[in-house]
Structure formats: C-alpha cells, structure tokens
Amino acid sequence: MPPERVNPEVMAALEQPSWTATFGRAVLHADTTIRKYFWRGFRPKFGAKREITVGGKSANDFVLDAVEKLLEGKRAYDPAKDLLANLNSITDSLIWSEKKRSDRTGIVDYVERVDGDEDRIDPISVAQDADLTADEKLVRDELREDQRRCFKDIRASFDGDREMQEYLDALSEGIFKRVDISEVTGIPVEQLDELRRKLVKYARRFFGVPDFEALQRRLNEGK
Amino acid sequence: MNNDEQGPMENLLAGLDQHAEALSPEELKAELEERGINLDDGLKTAAMMIKACDKADRLSWMKVADEKSASLRVAEEPAGSWTSRKADEIVAAFNTFISSAKPETALAFRNKGELSVEDMAQILDANESLKRRSVDQDKARP
C-alpha cells in the first residue's frame, strides 16, 4: 500500500510567505487560550523563560504539535478555512486535552467552537452548574467576582480616556467585530487597532494575572 | 451569568487575540516576548519539521516508484528460452506467432519449408528479443 502523502493543501499553506505571521498569531492565540483558563481556576506554571505552560508545554509547543498533526494527517485540514483558523482549532483542542490529562486545577474547561459565519466564539462548555459541587460553585463565584474587579481596575486605570474605556467595555461584553464595536461606541474602525496597541502597551502587565490579588500587587508595583 | 458565559477578563483576552491580526510582525514578536515566548525558536523548529516531513514524503514516493519500476522490469524479463520448452508448446506458440505476424513475415517462414522444432524455438526467442529491444528503444526516446 502506498504511503499516505502529505496533504498538498497543508504543504502549500505552510509555504506561503505569510506563514511566519500565521505561526506567530497561532502562538499568541494558544497563549491566550491558556491564560483564559486562569479565570476558571487554573493555577499557572511557568517554563524556563517564564512562558506559561500546561503539562510542561508552552504555547509554542502546542502550535508545533498542531503543525505536526496536520503534516502527518492526524488532524484534518479544512480547506474552507485559512491555516490560522485550522491551527487555532487544533491547538484549542490540544490544550484542552493536555489540561484535562495533566492538570486538575480549576473548575471547568474551555472548548473552542466556531459558528457558521466564522465568528470566533469561546464558550466554556463542559461542566454545567449541576455538575459543580457546593465548594466548586463557591470557587466559581469568587473567580467571577475577581474577573469583574480586575476589569473594573483596568478600566479605571484609563480614567479620562473615554475611547479606551468604551473599547474596553465593548470587548468585555464580548463584542469583537470591529464594525460592531464602531457601531456601539462611535469610534471609527480604523482607530480600533491603535487602541489595541495602546491597551497592550499600558496594560500588558495586567493581562497575565490569575486573580484580583495578583492584579492589586501589579498595580502597587507600578506606584 | 451562567456557567457557559465568559467573564469580562476572558472576553478581554479573547478580543485582544482576535484583534491581533492588525499587528505588524515586529509588534507580534514583541507581544510574544512580553509573554516569555521566543517566536524565532518556534519558527526554527517548525521549519525543520516541515522540511523533514517534505523530505520523508518525497523519499517514500521515490521508494514506491523504484519498487514499481523493479516489478515492471521483472515482468518484462523472458521466462526462459523456448529451446528448453516442450515440443508441443513450441509448435503451438510458433503457429500463433505465424498467424499473428505480418503477411510478409509469415510468408518468409512458410517459404523456408519444413522447420524443425529447434528452429521454431530459436525463431520465437529471436522474436521476443526483438520485441524487448523495440520496447527499450521506445522508452529511451524523449
């Protein structure tokens, strides 16, 4: 029986000049996926370079695993989507599996889902309220309260910057499409990318915090 | 907020991730470095992985092609000389050859008069040798 050929569509996508940027964005997405687990109670572990890991694997490792699986045909490549969407979908699943296998912290897991319009949404699916014990519900409520307090503090750090606060409000409400944000806030679409740059520049220290106390420490470090 | 909904910090992270598409390569690299991630290391490993896979893919198919080529060569090789076959096989094969040969070839052999079984076997061997040579020449043509 002849050997399984590498999917030519996968190889062609990996040979595109945009591959470098695609890989970087896939790694950023994987790292973000891991960070989001913080807010479900996952206690972060760090690698040698202070990168966040799950089961000893960093975001880089997860994306490399996803590339390998596409090349080996162990994961199907959906030609209707671009390479980044394919990689993101695989890394989400790999991170979810690795977290389930190696890390028992936290109360609930993420599963990635993409709707028919290609709008990325990140619901948390697995555990339902009924599955949580009283203690877990307590932890969940604390984590949710932590999220609200952290967001409030980050938002307050931009007091006086109305556009930034409106941008933050839109994102925190799950409004991600630029046109929708523009419609809700009145901020021109072309200004949103600049707001994102500014937000990351001034508030990047806060995005990696796992809870409100850590955020307070970071805020105090800056004083 | 039910259990399936994301909180404001989760949404904030997801939103920033989606809006990362507008980042320049340098900004993307810097943002990853802030998170303790070395993009160049990952890209280097990925490039090696892709190259190795591509090479293995090509080699595996070259091997398949070599195996096919070898099996075709075996199929083309003569099963053995007609001189070592039984007389009735040689006569039957010779009659088939004459009936399928061009008219002038068939006439030439008939005019030669009575042929021995050994003559027939040698003619069959010569014919097959000619056929193989003709196939090889066709393959060699550009």
Q: How many Cβ atoms sit within 10 Å of the Cβ of residue A177?
A: 14
- Res B79: pLDDT: 63
Spatial contact of B26 and A144, defined as CB atoms under 8 Å apart = no
- Res B140: pLDDT: 65
In this structure, are A38 and A24 located in the same domain?
yes
In this structure, are A39 and A139 located in the same domain?
no
In this structure, are A120 and A143 located in the same domain?
no
- The β-bridge partners of A124 are A110
Structural domain tally of chain A? 2
Chain-chain contact of B17 with A32 (C-beta, under 8 angstroms): yes
Chain-chain contact of A151 with B17 (C-beta, under 8 angstroms): no
Chain-chain contact of A122 with B10 (C-beta, under 8 angstroms): yes
Spatial contact of A157 and A59, defined as CB atoms under 8 Å apart = no
Residue type at B81 in one-letter notation: S
Give domain status of residue A220, yes or no.
Answer: no
* Residue where one domain finishes, among candidates A127, A154, A183: A127
In this structure, are A149 and A122 located in the same domain?
no
- Res B139: pLDDT: 66
Domain that holds residue A60: 1-127
Chain-chain contact of A46 with B36 (C-beta, under 8 angstroms): yes
The distance of A124 to chain B (nearest Cα, Å) reads: 5
In this structure, are A7 and A111 located in the same domain?
yes
In this structure, are A116 and A171 located in the same domain?
no
In this structure, are A118 and A155 located in the same domain?
no
Domain residue ranges in chain B? 9-73, 79-140
The distance of B69 to chain A (nearest Cα, Å) reads: 14
What span, in angstroms and rounded, lies between the C-alpha atoms of B15 and A17?
26
In this structure, are A144 and A182 located in the same domain?
yes
Spatial contact of B70 and B100, defined as CB atoms under 8 Å apart = no
The set of residues, in sequence order, having a beta carbon less than 8 Å from that of A106 and lying 6+ positions away, is A37, A40, A41, A42, A43, A99
Per-residue pLDDT of chain A (223 residues; tens, 9 = 90+): 545 678 889 999 999 999 999 999 999 999 999 999 888 888 878 888 888 899 999 999 999 999 999 999 999 999 999 999 999 999 999 998 898 888 777 775 555 444 343 334 344 444 444 567 888 788 888 888 989 998 998 999 899 999 999 999 999 999 999 999 999 999 999 999 999 999 988 877 776 677 777 777 776 775 5
**Percent of chain B whose predicted confidence (pLDDT) is above 90:** 27
- Residue bearing tokens 């089961």: A55
pTM of the predicted model over 0.95? no
Evaluate if residue B92 carries a pLDDT over 70: yes
Q: Six-digit token pair at A153? A: 């503090």
What span, in angstroms and rounded, lies between the C-alpha atoms of B8 and A155?
11
In this structure, are A106 and A12 located in the same domain?
yes
Entry field: residues in chain B:
142
Kindly tell me the number of DSSP H helices and DSSP E strands found in chain A. 9, 5
- Section B121-132 average pLDDT: 84
The distance of A125 to chain B (nearest Cα, Å) reads: 6
Residue B4's alpha-carbon distances to A38, A94, A120, A128, A169, in angstroms, are: 15, 20, 15, 8, 20
In this structure, are A183 and A78 located in the same domain?
no
In this structure, are A21 and A87 located in the same domain?
yes
In this structure, are A90 and A188 located in the same domain?
no
Give domain status of residue A222, yes or no.
Answer: no
The answer to whether residue B25 neighbours chain A at the CB level (below 8 Å) is yes
